[in-house]
Every structure is written in structure tokens, then in C-alpha cells.
Amino acid sequence: MHDRSDFCDVTAALYGVVSAPAGKRDWESIRHWYHPDARLVRTGVDEHGQAFARVMSFDDYVENAEELLRDVIFSERETSHEVRFFGNVAQLASSYEFTWESGQESRQGRGMNFFTIVFDGTHWKIMSIVWDNER
């Protein structure tokens, strides 16, 4: 039987790692949640108003996040969580609020992570996460 609590530990771990003071984060502590071929997709709008989708492997994402958050105090917290199951596939929609603080700037906002999670016969693994922030 599956219910909402099935992935609360996953989202808590992911939001926990990214929510940290400036500096390195413990990405290895969450690697086991990801399928080896997982894709992470940051979507948004660039400075010219053009939509974009940046597709990354887990390692690409870590490299990008380390660069973006190097000198930033960043925090995300889940505000709602909805899961749908069909066989060995789960869709998880996770709403979040974030704060972003650097020496020069402070921002707050909301966003949504859309997870596709697959069961490999032993464990549930994140196959993809696609997200965007509210504008």
C-alpha cells in the first residue's frame, strides 16, 4: 500500500541538503535516492523573457548548484506534497517556499518540483525532477 508518507523522507532529505549556509553541501547523502540515469530539469525565463529548460544529470546538477549557491544562504521548505501511483511509477508534486540571501540581495518565493519516481524491484528511485519558480 502506498500513501503520502512514502516519499516524505525523500523530499525532506533533498530540501535539507540544498538548505544550507554558503559553502559545500552534502550531495552524496542523497545520491542513493536517484536512478543512475536520472535527469534534473531547471525551467524558467531568462533575462530576455525567453523560456528555457536546462537538462542535467545528477552530477551536472550538483556542479551547477554549487556554483549558483557558493556565496548564498539558501533555504527551501516543502509546503505541500501530492503523490499518484500506477504500478511501478509514482508522480510526486512538491510545492516549496524558498529564501535566497547573498551579501547584496535577499529574495523569497515559491516553486514546484515535479518528480517521476520508479520502482526498480527493490527501491524507489528518482528518475526525473522538473521544477520552476513562481513569477
* Integer Cα distance of 130 and 43 in angstroms: 7
Domain ranges (residues) in the chain: 4-133
Q: What is the pLDDT of residue 75?
A: 95
From 3.10.450.50, 3.40.50.300, 1.10.340.70, 3.30.70.1400, which CATH number describes the 4-133 domain? Answer: 3.10.450.50
- Residues 135, 12, 34: CA angle, nearest 5 degrees: 90
The pTM of the full predicted model, rounded to 2 decimals, is: 0.91
Sequential pLDDT tens for the chain (135 residues): 354 457 888 999 999 999 988 888 999 999 999 999 999 999 999 999 999 999 999 999 999 999 989 889 999 999 999 999 999 999 999 999 999 998 889 999 999 999 999 999 999 999 999 999 998
